[in-house]
Amino acid sequence: MKTRDIIQFNNQLFARHRWRTTLLMLCVALGVSAVVLLVSVGESARQYVEREFSMLGSNLLIILPGKKQTSGGGVPFYGTTTRDLTLADANSIRQLPGVRSVAPIIAGTANVSVGPRSKNVMVIGSTRDFLTARQLSIAMGQSLPIDAEQVSRNVALIGSELEEELFAPNNPLGEMLTIDDYRYRVVGVLAVRGESLGLDMRDTVILPVKAAESLFNSASLFRILIDLNGLVDQQKVIEDVYALIKQRHQGEEDITIITQQSVMEAFNNIMVTLTAVVGLLGAISLVVAGILIMNLSLISVQQRRTEIGLLKALGASRQLILRLFISESVMLVLIASAFGLGAAQLILSLANQWIPVLSLATPLWAHLSAVGVAVLTALVFSYLPARQAANVSPVEVLRG
């Protein structure tokens, strides 16, 4: 029997058992769609993180207060510091060779109000260099004052969403807002940037760092961002920063420096693992479909014993019977997989149209993996019924 004959034979079989065929195809199509959609979500999240970090440039260092240590169980944590990071530390780092700019950061949450309107938001104290490091721009007004580290000026930049909630429909420039018990004049509004690495800049207030010191009554820095020159040896600068802080903090190396590449690699590893796990969860539905294929195929063998016996009496070999039953399952799975892939692409397209910020995309390997798992499932779970069919004795069947 030729391949064309096998295909025609299976098509006739599908037509005779249309309800069983529809049920099996629906199960497989749902499984393939689940794998593709779940992998798409994980992969899109990974690409989003990569885009966010790439927008920050490749020469960014982040200094955290506290030395990263390892506990007895091998779990990393940040120990307490003997001295806090201060503006003086940031100024000293700025003098190191290879450093283009330094952005000290003080951060906290506070209640921001304008008349009867109020909201609890993130308040960041920093300098103009912070806007450059985070790729932020001004939609209207002006940036922070140049002397943000020397003078406590009561001026503020606000995010686009905060402007809409507190000042709409009026122009916010020159207006006053209250943060706790302090009043600040709005000098600028940030351009729409969206959420950046977990911090929604649309709903944020940025103050001069000296003003933030007064607001939070603390001179301790939350972070220090260092932007390096393009051709500098990054490792050399890291060693210089460690040595400088150790000298300034009475011999204590009580900071941790994180590079952009290390953070990106950590996020990437997490997202790749998460994508694999959710894809595996989706593949479980294909295994369930495979069990259904096996059970229905076993029933089919019993119902088609006369047909199988007649084929063997006409000269069909054991291998041909195996091929017929296995090819039936594989053909059904391939057709169902095509429907499943089409349905997944339709859902992704609609999701991207309705919620463009998601930017859902599915890599080619996800499609191939979903179809591959479906075909492998069909081969594995159809072998037992196929072998049972191949062992049917034509003599016993024809005798009734």
Q: How confident is the model at residue 3 (pLDDT cuts 50, 70, 90)?
A: low
Residue 89 counted as domain residue:
no
Q: Which of 118-132, 298-312, 328-342 has the lowest mean pLDDT?
A: 298-312
More confident of the two residues 177 and 39: 177
* pTM strictly above 0.85: no
- What pLDDT is recorded for position 213? 92
Q: How much of the chain exceeds pLDDT 90, in percent?
A: 21
Q: How confident is the model at residue 47 (pLDDT cuts 50, 70, 90)?
A: confident
- Judge whether residue 303 has pLDDT over 80: no
Residue 129 counted as domain residue:
yes
Q: How confident is the model at residue 312 (pLDDT cuts 50, 70, 90)?
A: low
- Judge whether residue 105 has pLDDT over 90: yes
Do both 350 and 278 map to the same domain?
yes
Do both 225 and 269 map to the same domain?
no
What is the 8-class DSSP label of residue 191? P
Do both 42 and 151 map to the same domain?
no
- Judge whether residue 301 has pLDDT over 80: no
Residue 165 counted as domain residue:
yes
Q: How confident is the model at residue 70 (pLDDT cuts 50, 70, 90)?
A: very low
- What pLDDT is recorded for position 188? 93
φ, ψ dihedrals at 77, nearest 5°: -150, 165
- Judge whether residue 285 has pLDDT over 90: no
Do both 198 and 303 map to the same domain?
no
Do both 306 and 219 map to the same domain?
no
Under the phi-then-psi rule, with left for phi > 0, alpha for psi from -120 to 50, and beta for the rest, what region is 67?
beta
Do both 205 and 112 map to the same domain?
yes
Do both 14 and 117 map to the same domain?
no
Q: How confident is the model at residue 306 (pLDDT cuts 50, 70, 90)?
A: low
Q: How confident is the model at residue 176 (pLDDT cuts 50, 70, 90)?
A: very high
Question: At which of 212, 232, 252 does a domain end?
Answer: 232
* Strand-pair partners of 82: none
Tens of pLDDT, residue by residue over 185-198, are 999 999 876 455 55
Residue 120 counted as domain residue:
yes
- What pLDDT is recorded for position 54? 63
Residue 169 counted as domain residue:
yes
Tens of pLDDT, residue by residue over 79-102, are 444 678 899 999 999 999 989 899
Cβ neighbours around 217 below 10 Å, total: 6
Cβ neighbours around 16 below 10 Å, total: 9
- Judge whether residue 200 has pLDDT over 90: no
Say which residue the tokens 């003098």 belong to. 95
- What pLDDT is recorded for position 376? 85
Look up the domain containing 34 and give its range: 3-52+265-399
Rg of the Cα atoms in the chain = 32
Nearest one of 2, 4, 11 to 331, comparing CA atoms: 11
Do both 322 and 376 map to the same domain?
yes
Give the C-alpha separation, 196 to 149, whole Å: 24
Do both 273 and 389 map to the same domain?
yes
Do both 186 and 305 map to the same domain?
no
Residue 192 counted as domain residue:
yes
- Greatest mean pLDDT among 33-47, 159-173, 246-260 lies in 159-173
Cis status of the peptide bond prior to 172, with omega within 30 of 0: no
Tens of pLDDT, residue by residue over 322-377, are 777 777 778 888 888 899 889 888 888 888 888 776 677 777 877 888 888 888 88
Do both 210 and 269 map to the same domain?
no
- Judge whether residue 297 has pLDDT over 50: yes
Give the C-alpha separation, 227 to 204, whole Å: 22
Question: At which of 232, 252, 284 does a domain end?
Answer: 232
- What pLDDT is recorded for position 206? 94
- What pLDDT is recorded for position 78? 45
Our count of domains for the chain comes to 2
- Percent helix / strand / coil, the chain, rounded to 5: 55, 20, 25
Q: How confident is the model at residue 103 (pLDDT cuts 50, 70, 90)?
A: very high
Cis status of the peptide bond prior to 385, with omega within 30 of 0: no
Residue 333 counted as domain residue:
yes
In degrees, to the nearest 5, what angle opens at C-alpha 376 toward C-alphas 374 and 378? 70
- Judge whether residue 393 has pLDDT over 60: yes
Tens of pLDDT, residue by residue over 133-146, are 888 889 999 999 99
- Judge whether residue 112 has pLDDT over 70: yes
Residue 356 counted as domain residue:
yes
Q: How confident is the model at residue 1 (pLDDT cuts 50, 70, 90)?
A: low
- Judge whether residue 34 has pLDDT over 50: yes
Say which residue the tokens 């885009």 belong to. 51
Give the C-alpha separation, 167 to 175, whole Å: 9
Give the C-alpha separation, 248 to 91, whole Å: 12
> Tokens at residue 172, please?
């916010």
For residue 387, give the amino acid letter.
R
Do both 271 and 199 map to the same domain?
no
More confident of the two residues 308 and 66: 66
Report, as an integer, the average pLDDT of 119-141: 89
Give the C-alpha separation, 306 to 400, whole Å: 8
| Distance set, CA 123 to CA 152, 176, 283 (Å) | 15, 16, 44
Q: How confident is the model at residue 72 (pLDDT cuts 50, 70, 90)?
A: very low
State how beta strands 155-158 and 182-190 pair. Answer: parallel
Tens of pLDDT, residue by residue over 235-283, are 898 899 999 988 888 877 788 888 877 777 777 777 777 777 777 777 7
